[in-house]
Amino acid sequence: MKATPTQIPDVLVIEPKVFGDARGFFFESFNGKAFDDAVGRHVEFVQDNHSRSSKGVLRGLHYQVQQPQGKLVRVTRGAVFDVAVDIRKSSPTFGQWVGVELTEDNHKQLWVPPGLAHGFVVLSETADFLYKTTDYYAPAFERSILWNDADIGIQWPEIGMEPKLSAKDKQAACLYEADPVE
């Protein structure tokens, strides 16, 4: 496994070793020891999630004010542009974002540590998005930050349509009005 820090050093692009031939491919999608070595500490995952979305669906930017979730995310079908935003008030990278294209072909994963907001937009006709979390989903503590907040300035890729948002994500707060994460 190769782990590459991003502009937000805690956020890592994880690239597994992929073994392929005419029959297809094989790779370890997760190895606890290798992952812990990559992030420099023990990380325990408690929940696996799987979502399927159609082209143009934009999910996020989500976070939890209590029980913050670290997320290890990947795509098994299709392609997404995946984004992490540092919303930790005490962080030197507060308000900064990183984005990575995750596809079924590049096998890349993104480690989004607790305390960051996370979201993605689907680039392909459909996408299956899988992620492991370090804490349980807690709807009472979930919050959203507006996907196109000018103070963050995420450069979302052109998808040829308006993003499809949930009602909750349409009502999301701007970064400086959002409930803080310490």
Give the number of other Cβ atoms within 10 Å of residue 157's Cβ.
Answer: 12
Calculate ∠ Cα 182-58-155, nearest 5°.
75
Residue 50 bears catalytic tag: no
Beta bridge partners of 62: 118, 144
Beta bridge partners of 79: 103
- The residue whose two tokens read 């993104």 is 110
- Strand order across the 2-5 sheet: 2-5, 12-15, 109-112, 71-77, 126-133, 47-54
Residue of 42, 50, 62, 176 marked active site: 62
Contact 26, 16 (CB under 8 A): no
Residue of 63, 107, 118, 131 marked active site: 131
Residue 62 bears catalytic tag: yes
Contact 109, 102 (CB under 8 A): yes
Active site residues: 62, 131
